[in-house]
Structure 1
């Protein structure tokens, strides 16, 4: 039987006075196996935390077990006993649930945060806590804005890679995407095709093609020589080997209006992203020159290389994806995709250049004026 709504407030207020949050966490773990902050948000005042906890166990019909455990820890408080009896007569009359001690181990080592009670029934589980729940409208709106800012890089009529706006009139891609054109004196042949998309009816939207402006190749950084071998991390790329090219467009594509809204650009971050192993990574790309695609992997991140100049991940890409932007699950830009595992028969990773390093190198090269705020 659920706790009566009118008793949640006095019971949570009393609980906050006589229990610490650490005790609340331990009691919850004992009877359910859940930790306190798997069930309630962090940062609430103590009373609000106990209120949220009581709401949660009441909704799961296991309030009697928790209240019985709480009463066993404060048996000589008549006010608390009266509140428990009114909230759950079963809890007031029942002894605390017996335990079956549980020792969860992995390879012989105890798991520190495992529940101590094998009989714990558990509340709803956040099975993979690194995957946050997303506000759907916010997430989709961000995706649509990013779609407007990614382009296919072309040399003449041939697709060469992917790029994206980083300022009103500046596109970022990989140096290796444009290197041959640049070294052959064919920079004028470079084009950026925006809005190249597949429609629902299967037709291809051709998009808008823009040439480069007077600065053309505003600045660049080469790739590492080792990245032309089977051992791309030996030695690691230096901070001056970031494999990027900043292209100056002939017009301010970032100010073009798409359905009445300015296209804008993807801002380059100034600081390193807070990414952990197995975090998601999303890549918006033109694989094999195809209409724009989104590749998602919710357990993507492998980790940085030895000196932090590269990030490895499992998100799928193809030839033509070089120069694509990579994002966190919440659409924070984090990497410039540039490379795939040379073990092509059984590849284990893809690789990108952290965008905060690219930004710092562009600023050091005196081209920060091309970047958007």
Structure 2
């Protein structure tokens, strides 16, 4: 929730007074945009006192971000109010965390090639709610139970920081990004896959206990059974040689998911080659582009998260994390929808 300074609250009072100079217009705004009765939440006093009490109520009840977003949407012809709303929201939104959590390697791909159309107003609507009491413990346990199916991908001839992430979608098949293997069109993916190591179970352990990981390599000379270049769907499906002691279950897929704006999205990833991390959001989806097979979201990621599985609220695989994009407002992440990938790989599953 937004935490306004004294100056912010004063500026907000002045903005509301200017936009809705009489009680009737303010009543309509509060009813239409907040679905609240002005008399109930702010009383019947003088207009300036009603505005003061409205803001006080919005802060106390956790509606202050909704109030400011509604004000911005309802005053598009008022540059002065728009400037105030944008300034406050930009100060508060955590789309570019200070620890560099969005840092990822560039793919040298023009966003226009993906038909990216993202306006700052669409990102301003995302005030990521922190998971506290809102997180269902059973759902979390279900998701974390999939952790064993996510692997860190490293290469014998590359620095550790140039790692990636993959996910097991069949007993011996891992899905990751094409660009985790190579960023060049026409590269020999099979040869590159021969140098890769797929490490499952790379998670932190309590009290400094040793990790019990399983390190797999590819099967045969042609392990890449399907792939799509970076400028298309940017995926590689790789066959592994699991051996008799490998008993990890693949993740469940949802190739028909209809991801709507502000719906939940969860990502299991190995950022910067570190132990497995989970990035949760209960409103993280920004928008989708079904024809292009893309989904945009605000979940934080880092370099090394390429190829990470993106799950819906039921912990079904719905997308493959691809990259971060910079916009004029902040950064947004981009994934490849499983609905686009699945038709190309279904015969191998």
Match of 1:151 in 2: 151
1:271 to 253, 256, 280: 256
2:199 to 193, 196, 200: 193
Matches within 5 A, 1:1-373: 103-105=27-29, 111=32, 114-115=35-36, 118-119=39-40, 135-136=136-137, 138-156=138-156, 158=158, 159=160, 160-179=163-182, 182-183=188-189, 185-202=191-208, 205=211, 207-214=213-220, 215-224=222-231, 241-251=232-242, 256-257=246-247, 263-273=248-258, 275-305=259-289, 307-342=291-326, 347-363=330-346, 368-369=347-348, 371=349
TM-fit CA distance, 1:111: 1.3
TM-fit CA distance, 1:325: 0.5
User: What SS class does the counterpart of residue 219 from structure 1 fall into?
Assistant: strand
Tell me how far apart the structure 2 counterparts of residues 359 and 208 of structure 1 sit (CA, whole Å): 27
TM-fit CA distance, 1:206: 5.5
* CA displacement 1:199-257 (0-9 Å, x = unmatched): 12245625111010124111100111xxxxxxxxxxxxxxxx1100000001268x834
> For residues 266 and 157 of structure 1, do their structure 2 counterparts lie closer, same or farther at Cα, with a shift above 3 Å needed?
farther
Partners of 2:255 and 2:318 within 8 A in 1: no
Tell me how far apart the structure 2 counterparts of residues 277 and 211 of structure 1 sit (CA, whole Å): 38
TM-fit CA distance, 1:150: 0.3
User: What SS class does the counterpart of residue 118 from structure 1 fall into?
Assistant: helix
User: What SS class does the counterpart of residue 307 from structure 2 fall into?
Assistant: coil
Match of 1:19 in 2: none
TM-fit CA distance, 1:155: 1.4
TM-fit CA distance, 1:304: 1.5
> For residues 252 and 264 of structure 1, do their structure 2 counterparts lie closer, same or farther at Cα, with a shift above 3 Å needed?
farther
User: What SS class does the counterpart of residue 201 from structure 1 fall into?
Assistant: helix
TM-fit CA distance, 1:112: 7.2
TM-fit CA distance, 1:339: 0.6
* CA displacement 1:104-157 (0-9 Å, x = unmatched): 417xxx617824573389xxx9989x9996652x32431232111000111127
Which sections of structure 1, spanning at least 5 residues, go unmatched? Answer: 1-99, 225-240, 258-262
TM-score w.r.t. the length of structure 2 is 0.59
User: What SS class does the counterpart of residue 260 from structure 2 fall into?
Assistant: coil
Instruction: Tell me how many residue pairs correspond in the alignment.
Output: 236
* CA displacement 1:278-321 (0-9 Å, x = unmatched): 22221100000111111123331111147342111110101100
Q: Which has the larger radius of gyration?
A: 1
Tell me how far apart the structure 2 counterparts of residues 192 and 201 of structure 1 sit (CA, whole Å): 25
TM-fit CA distance, 1:183: 5.0
Task: Quote the RMSD (CA, aligned, Å).
Answer: 3.4
Structure of greater relative contact order (alpha carbons < 8 Å, 6+ residues apart) = 2
